[in-house]
């Protein structure tokens, strides 16, 4: 199976669909061929990262893991 053989099959399917008056099937074959050749892509979801403001504005400081844990880790209630 090659791209060319798939394209030929889609052309045949499109022609048959047109002969049978199946417009939606003909359009589907055309779109499938366009996707096959990379002319059309499905809609892709773009994931973005939102940066939240710091709790305390001011100087940017790198914290060690121990400092971060001491400051922001959930406190245990006994």
- 44/49 Cα distance (integer angstroms): 16
Q: Is residue 24 part of a domain?
A: yes
Looking at the structure of the chain, the number of domains it has is 1
* Average pLDDT of span 12-32: 95
Assessment of whether the complete model's pTM goes beyond 0.85: no
- Phi-psi category of residue 59: left, alpha or beta, with phi > 0 → left and psi -120 to 50 → alpha: beta
The pLDDT of residue 75 is: 75
Dmax over CA atoms of the chain, in Å, equals 78
Q: What residues make up the domain containing 31? A: 3-36
| pLDDT tier for residue 57 given thresholds of 50, 70 and 90 | low
Q: Is residue 26 part of a domain?
A: yes
Q: Is residue 17 part of a domain?
A: yes
Share of the chain above pLDDT 90, in %: 41
| pLDDT tier for residue 52 given thresholds of 50, 70 and 90 | low
The pLDDT of residue 78 is above 80: no
């Amino acid at each position: 199976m090659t791209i060319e053989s798939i394209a030929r099959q889609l052309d045949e399917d499109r022609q048959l669909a047109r002969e049978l008056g199946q417009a939606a099937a003909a359009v589907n074959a055309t779109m499938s061929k366009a996707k096959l050749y990379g002319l059309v892509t499905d809609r892709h979801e773009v994931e973005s990262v939102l940066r939240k403001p710091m709790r305390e504005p001011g100087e940017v400081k790198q914290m060690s893991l121990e400092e971060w844990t001491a400051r922001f880790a959930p406190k245990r209630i006994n």
